[in-house]
Amino acid sequence: MTRYICAVLLAAAGFVHADLYLHGYRAIPLVGPAFLLQASGSFAIAVLLLVSNVLILRLAAAGLAAGALAGFVMSRTVGIGTFVERGFDPAPQALISVLLEVAVVVLLAAPWLVGRLRTVRA
């Protein structure tokens, strides 16, 4: 069930990136192509998660979400090339994307974390 939820969340995050790409981000050097790649990868991995439950797909989904979160942090701190944003602009897409990507990472990391806790307590 978790992989289906993650697939939906990842596809939704991909949609946000695709929408931003189409509505202005495609003109931004480095960022535009990164948004297109993020959207394409998110859609592809989401579809593959629906049909298979192999570990590499779960790792790819977590990696895509974590990479998007890292890009978000970079764009608000050191910048990406000459591109810098502030806060949760563009609103509401930035906040939606962050929430979706955090949810993907948490859902995919939860079984591993629970296993680690059980090992520590044993």
Q: Which residue has the higher pLDDT, 117 or 42?
A: 42
State how far the Cα of 27 lies from the Cα of 117, in Å rounded to an integer.
46
From residue 91, give the alpha-carbon distance in Å to each of 36, 41, 118.
19, 23, 40
Q: For the segment 78-88, what is each residue's pLDDT rounded down to a tens digit? A: 999 999 999 99
- Residue pLDDT, tens place only, 40-77: 999 999 999 999 999 999 999 999 999 999 999 999 99
Backbone angles phi, psi at 80, to 5 degrees: -120, 105
Rounded-to-integer distance, Cα 94 and Cα 78, Å: 17
